[in-house]
Amino acid sequence: MKTQVAIIGGGPSGLLLSQLLHTRGIDSVVLERKTKDYVLGRIRAGVLEQGFVELMEEAGCAERMHSEGFTHDGTLISYGDEIFRIDFTQHTGKPVMVYGQTEVTRDLYAARETAGGKIEFNVEDVVILGADSDTPRVSCSVGGDARTLECDFVAGCDGFHGVSRQTIPLDVRKEYEKVYPFGWLGILSETPPVNHELIYANSERGFALCSMRNDKLSRYYIQCSLSDSPEDWTDEAFWEELKRRIPKEHADALIAGPSIEKSIAPLRSFVTEPMRWGRLFLCGDAAHIVPPTGAKGLNTAASDIHYLYNGLKDFYENGDTQGIDGYSEKALKRIWKAERFSWWFSSLMHRYPDQSEFDLKMQIAEIEFLRSNDAAQRAMAENYVGLPY
């Protein structure tokens, strides 16, 4: 098999890159380790920056998002029973879009299938060969049959545990990591959201987040111990704990119901450098992880795709290599800013095991400064809606 761009990973970033390349007549093949149903069954965040929305529009995949997604002009932040709002559009002129990652992925699959895009599922034993040469290739097996895919470039969109990052030699890549001493217990429930915008809550009992997928499907989180498992928490226990962590007016209005999904996510900040080795490019979780507090995971992947897509477009249409040559440096500059925001917001909203009374006073002072200072609110809003590409 031959293609111009081999894409490892059939999640939203790999599919988005494939669809964008298709709009310019650039051929790609997507190799996915799991089944389509498995990929669509993963529950992920759904707050999209304006840059991501514009990429979906450019890919021709934004119609359902615009008809079913929710435009949010701000968010609420609480501490104890105090609560205030950050107005995104007032400070930046931009909103965010609430639209589930599963739905983004579904739309991208539909677009690739309509266009006759080449997607292989149940791909095993993937090995990236010759990435540091002019003739890279990917060997793999599909249904027990050995295959080799010859290509011009390889895009590694296969996540933190994929083969792409591991392909870059240890003496070339450097990794930076911070592991947080808590996790997020999240549930999905077929209940109306408690508020029409997200609520981020700092409580003496720990962090909580009230989010949603649509007007009948809610997503809630509470900070929990890393030693917890979902089975330790009954639905009743979860709802009671959530109510203790959010302001009383919202706790009284909360409609509880059976969970249809329950899981615990650990939190980490992670970056690998460089994000390019020869003709191999890392995108999304293959290169970096952010804690979910600032809703930057999918959005940082989208910025990678923006830089890589435009670099490949310039290469194939104009013979210009500046975009692909500068991909890693340009992508990393934005990634580190997103890492900073996610680290800052996580530090602001969570309770840490080793926090002293002084630390807690400083945390509340920081929140109250944010509440009262217009410049601080603008800085947060600019980061939340997404820094420019």
For 112-149, the pLDDT digits (tens) are: 999 999 999 999 999 999 999 999 999 999 988 999 99
The catalytic position among 22, 72, 306, 330 is 72
- pLDDT(42) > 90: no
Cβ atoms < 10 Å from Cβ of 273: 19
348 in helix, strand or coil? helix
Residue 78 tokens read as 């609480």
**How many helices and strands, by DSSP H and E, does the chain display?**
14, 20
Owner of token pair 């639209």: 99
Please state, for a pLDDT cut of 90, what percent of the chain lies above it. Answer: 96
Task: Examine the residue annotation and report whether 309 is marked as an active-site residue of this protein.
Answer: no
pLDDT of residue 105: 96
Task: Examine the residue annotation and report whether 72 is marked as an active-site residue of this protein.
Answer: yes
Q: Over the range 178-202, which residues count as b (16 or more CB within 10 Å of their CB) and which as e? A: eebebbbbbbbbebbbbbebbbbbb
- pLDDT one-digit tens code per residue, 194-216: 999 999 999 999 999 999 988 89
Averaged pLDDT of the chain: 96
pLDDT of residue 214: 85
pLDDT of residue 44: 74
**CA angle in degrees (0–180, nearest 5) for 222-228-234:** 65
- pLDDT one-digit tens code per residue, 52-110: 999 999 999 999 999 999 999 999 999 998 999 999 999 999 999 999 899 999 999 99
pLDDT of residue 259: 97
The domain limits of the chain are 5-72+96-177+268-345, 179-267+351-385
Rounded to a whole number of angstroms, the CA Rg of the chain reads 21
Which neighbouring-strand residues pair with 37? none
The catalytic position among 22, 250, 296, 350 is 296
- Indicate the range of 41-50, 328-337, 346-355 predicted with least confidence: 41-50
- pLDDT(188) > 90: yes
- pLDDT(365) > 90: yes
- pLDDT(43) > 80: no
Which neighbouring-strand residues pair with 214? 217
Task: Examine the residue annotation and report whether 181 is marked as an active-site residue of this protein.
Answer: no
The catalytic position among 292, 307, 313, 350 is 292
Determine the Cα–Cα distance for residues 209 and 191; give it in Å rounded to an integer.
Answer: 15
Cβ atoms < 10 Å from Cβ of 320: 13
User: Cβ neighbours of residue 340 under 8 Å, at least 6 residues apart?
Assistant: none
Task: Examine the residue annotation and report whether 296 is marked as an active-site residue of this protein.
Answer: yes
Residue 46 pLDDT grade (very low, low, confident, very high; cuts 50, 70, 90): confident
Residue 357 pLDDT grade (very low, low, confident, very high; cuts 50, 70, 90): very high
Question: Do residues 7 and 18 touch, judged by C-beta distance below 8 A?
Answer: yes
Please state, for a pLDDT cut of 70, what percent of the chain lies above it. Answer: 99
98 in helix, strand or coil? strand
- pLDDT one-digit tens code per residue, 230-257: 999 999 999 999 999 999 999 999 999 9
According to CATH, the topology of domain 179-267+351-385 is: D-Amino Acid Oxidase; Chain A, domain 2 (3.30.9)
| Pairwise pLDDT comparison (81 vs 372), residue with the higher score | 372
Task: Examine the residue annotation and report whether 306 is marked as an active-site residue of this protein.
Answer: no
Q: Which segments of 33-127 does DSSP mark as H helices, in order?
A: 36-40, 50-58, 63-68, 88-92, 101-114
Which neighbouring-strand residues pair with 34? none
Question: Do residues 59 and 23 touch, judged by C-beta distance below 8 A?
Answer: yes
pLDDT of residue 143: 87
- pLDDT(290) > 90: yes
- pLDDT one-digit tens code per residue, 167-185: 999 999 999 999 999 999 9
pLDDT of residue 191: 97
Query: Which of 3.50.50.60, 3.40.50.450, 3.30.70.250, 1.10.10.10 would CATH assign to domain 5-72+96-177+268-345?
Result: 3.50.50.60
The catalytic position among 200, 220, 221, 316 is 200
pLDDT of residue 369: 98
